[in-house]
Amino acid sequence: MTTIERIDTGTEELLAEREGHVLTLTLNRPERLNAISAPMLSAFSRQLIAANKDPEVRVVIITGAGRGFCSGLDLVERGGADARAQEAPPFSLIDLGESPPTALYHMDKPVICALNGAAAGYGMDLALLCDIRIASEHGKLAAVVVKRNIVPESGGTWLLPRLIGYAKAAELFFRGRIVGAEECLELGLVNAVVPSDDLMDTARAWAQEIAENAPAAVQVTKRLMRLGEHETFETTVDHVMMYFRALSKTEDFREGVRAFLEQRPGQFTGR
């Protein structure tokens, strides 16, 4: 039986714990429906970047505390920041290289969203950036940014059309629609809908299944899928063969062959 390691994120607004090879990150501002504050933003980025580099982490689960997943960026806090920004120089380059959305997009480790409640604005973008979304019956994706005179600032306009097609994405965004769990399932926006009490157990079970596979093969497969969105078929096949040759020289490949011949689960070490 594995032990749970609690990780200091530097703020109580983001909780992190690792059990075996699975890291769970919990947005923890339930009184604000987990609206993203500045401390959460930087801590979230640090944890994602560290997880992607940590060989002990094979899967990441992201969820929210309380009844919401994430209601977006904290507009109250942001209003104060915008007022202070008026005193800053009129032009500066935007650097999103280590922002949570960019870190999520470049993650090679699989990421599961345990969608416990509503995800709106920035929160919806974070959910869409995860590889797998499991929703409770209370899970919702709220494409309501046009009702606040803002845009999906963290990749939503790039992500949603790729997931459900341009016309349906246009309907959700332009109408400012809130999509419940069952409709999300019908649209292919979530992989499964489960009772609230079963959400985290289901997410952990799926994460454990992934973690038991050869980690390098899982991570390479994810990278190839991400790169394949922009590549020709010929380029993808060339990259696949390059990685296949590298993986075939590893101890995990030899273990995979032994496990197949002996008809048992593989015991993979990542080497």
User: What CATH number did the domain enclosing 99 receive?
Assistant: 3.90.226.10
Give the tens place of pLDDT for each residue, 225-271.
999 988 999 999 999 999 999 999 999 999 999 999 999 999 999 99
246 and 202 in a common domain: no
Q: Is residue 269 part of a domain?
A: no
- Tell me what pLDDT residue 148 has: 86
Q: Is residue 268 part of a domain?
A: no
231 and 98 in a common domain: no
Weakly modelled stretches of the chain, pLDDT under 50? 80-85
197 and 220 in a common domain: no
Number of domains forming the structure of the chain:
2
Q: Is residue 267 part of a domain?
A: no
83 and 206 in a common domain: yes
Q: Is residue 271 part of a domain?
A: no
Three-state SS string over 131-163 comes to CEEEEECCCEEECCHHHHCCCCCCCHHHHHHHH
Give the range of the structural domain holding residue 114, as residue numbers without chain letter: 4-211
Q: Is residue 25 part of a domain?
A: yes
Overall size of the chain counted in residues: 271
35: left (phi over 0), alpha (psi -120 to 50) or beta: beta
Distance CA(180)–CA(232), nearest Å, equals 36
Give the tens place of pLDDT for each residue, 260-269.
999 999 999 9
User: What CATH number did the domain enclosing 238 receive?
Assistant: 1.10.12
232 and 119 in a common domain: no
20 and 132 in a common domain: yes
171 and 134 in a common domain: yes
- Tell me what pLDDT residue 81 has: 47
User: Is pTM, for the whole model, over 0.85?
Assistant: yes
